[in-house]
Chain A
Amino acid sequence: MSSLAIPSAELPSRAPLWRVVVIGLFLVFMIVPVLATALFSFSVRWDRTIWPEGFTFEWWVKVTSKTAFRNALLSSLFVSAATVAVSLALVAPTVYWLHTRLPRAKPLVEALAILPFGVPGVVLALGLIRLYSSVPLPIINTANILVASYVVITLPFMYRSVMNALEAVDTRTLSEAAQSLGANHVLVFLKVILPNIGAGVINGSLLVFSAAFAEFALANLLIGTRFKTFPMYLVEFTRFDARQASALAFISFVFAWAISLAILWVVGRGRRPSKGAGQTKPA
């Protein structure tokens, strides 16, 4: 706690002790659980001794050879991809339209796009069930409702990513140049605007994909066991086989890592003056 008082010690050029301690503890806290999970998934047994009693691929082979594993993985990939597709089709043109044709409506759309940050998954699930369970349409209990609800909860990521990218581009000049050459609105959007906001669109898509891939509450409450996503499959395993569950958990970690690193790479390539690292999503 008193380390707040020490920063003046940084005037000399050597790394001061407080910083080494703070960064060291942070690294330990953030890395140990992930490392332990990875190691545990390769351990013959690791609940009596301080080091695993031998290493094996048995749990990995066991858990990945099941059909249910492949089905859950495919379900999650399918739902996440569908969410990205719907979100892109819905949000990107809307944001473009809002920015170029109807800036007056920005506060309204922005409110609708940011509010889902404040809607717990369980509450959204309850609302959707109340609203649609008596409607004679194939909505509740299908993957459709799951995709729709994922598009809602990921609206803030897609909206902010695309809007930030769009605000950094001189859309007016670009559109007018294209239109003077005879392009219509659709063509301007697809051929001129989209390539210019590519980094933002990819960034938003990756954020949406990773959020949809990891989501559990809505999947569990809206469709139950009929359509098992990867996180549901993992939770099921944590109840009866820790070693196989640890392999599944590690797969989730690697997946989340890969997407986050892809985002950092895309943002880094986007050469735009960075607004800091604050563009992320809460868990």
Chain B
Amino acid sequence: MKSSSTSRWPTQAWLGLVPFLAFALAFEVAPAMMLAKSAFTGEAGLSLSNFGRAMTPAVRSAFVNSLGLSLASAASGTVLGALVAHAIVTSRNAGVRHGLTALADVTANFGGAPLAFAFIITLGSTGVVTLLLKQVGIDIYPSFRIYSIGGLAIAYVYFQMPLAVLLMIPALLGLRREWREASVSLGARPLEYWRYVAIPILRPSLLGCFFLLFANAFGAYATAWTLTGSAVNLVTVQIAALVRGEVQLDPALADAIAVLSLVIMLSCVAAYQLLVRGRGATT
């Protein structure tokens, strides 16, 4: 009954999707289209001129900073997270495994203002760890500042690393014990096992993890804003300043910056989907 009515009245089935599609159109697709339309419209119709004109020195440095910060925090987050995930999955103690996975689960969702503030308390100029290090003769200030882009990178790693742990655990669990035993029995040293067997198998997961972390960092705003105000020039900080009207700029130029960052983010998420989810669906 049901399936026959589905095939006979396909339009009726589509009606069921109308509420969702209408919502997505109104609050997701249309705003993005609006930005794209204005960004690609020059004086004489369709044009890329807004993108060129939007690249003022401040905006260019914002992109350099954002890309650098995302690259650094995603790369170190992926490597450190994979290392911790490896330590977790190879642990024989079930309590350690569950406890650490729960910790990663909880901390991957930390971020934004409270996290930024926790780092001010910890590594700020009169921070707890700063004072402790001073006591043992290590004066990290003024050569290091938590309110700088380097400090921001440390704060970002705080939520990037646990996310990488969660993303890498399933991949590492997929490494079969026999593969290592086989390579060892063929004379491979541990380093060779990792280099020629394990890392190539893990590569899609590692890359997918990197892309997701990259997008995660690139789109972040609250952490940077709380920690540094507008002292560190990032793309999201620039866009927020444009929205609040603190910086005067042609709306089309602001939209071009937004569209450019949207393209970077969406490419990263697409890459993650293709590398991790796509594979997961076929296996």
Interface residues of A (CB under 8 A from B): 3-8, 10, 13, 15, 18-19, 22-23, 26-27, 29-30, 32-34, 36-37, 39-40, 46-50, 90-91, 93-94, 97-98, 101-102, 105, 109, 112, 114-131, 148-149, 151-152, 155, 175-176, 179, 210-211, 214-217, 220-221, 231, 234-235, 238, 242, 245-246, 248-250, 252-253, 256-257, 259-261, 263-264, 275-278, 280-283
Contact = CB atoms under 8 A, between A and B. Distances in A.
A40 B127 CA distance: 10
A223 to B, nearest CB: 12
A5 B243 contact: no
A260 B109 contact: yes
A115 B93 CA distance: 38
A189 to B, nearest CB: 11
B144 interface: no
A246 B121 contact: yes
Residue from B26, B114, B119, B236 whose CB has the most chain A CB atoms within 10 Å: B114
Contacts of A260: 102, 105-106, 109
Nearest to B270: A118
A249 B114 contact: yes
A121 B100 contact: no
21 contacts: A29-B161, A33-B158, A36-B128, A49-B131, A50-B135, A97-B13, A109-B17, A112-B29, A117-B215, A119-B28, A122-B239, A130-B255, A148-B23, A148-B27, A221-B243, A253-B118, A260-B109, A276-B170, A280-B109, A282-B108, A283-B163
B265 A282 contact: no
Interface in B1-51: 1-2, 6, 13-14, 16-17, 19-21, 23-24, 26-32, 34-35, 38
B120 interface: yes
Contacts of B88: 23
Interface in B135-186: 135, 158-159, 161-163, 166-167, 169-170, 173, 184
A94 B262 contact: no
Interface of B: 1-2, 6, 13-14, 16-17, 19-21, 23-24, 26-32, 34-35, 38, 80, 83-84, 86-88, 90-93, 96, 100-122, 126-129, 131-132, 135, 158-159, 161-163, 166-167, 169-170, 173, 184, 190-191, 193-194, 212-213, 215-216, 218-222, 225-226, 236, 239-240, 242-244, 251, 254-255, 258, 261-262, 265-266, 268-270, 273
Given A90-B20, A109-B20, A127-B35, A249 B190 contact: no
B251 A101 contact: no
A131 B29 CA distance: 11
B87 A249 contact: no
Contact of A105 (B14, B110, B226, B244): B14
Given A50-B135, A149-B27, A249-B114, A23 B129 contact: no
Q: Which 5 A-B pairs have the closest CB atoms?
A: A127-B31, A283-B111, A276-B170, A120-B219, A118-B269
Contacts of A245: 117
A50 B131 CA distance: 6
A94 B135 CA distance: 60
Nearest to A188: B2
A119 B95 CA distance: 37
Contacts of A248: 114
Nearest to A87: B23
A91 B242 CA distance: 33
Nearest to A257: B106
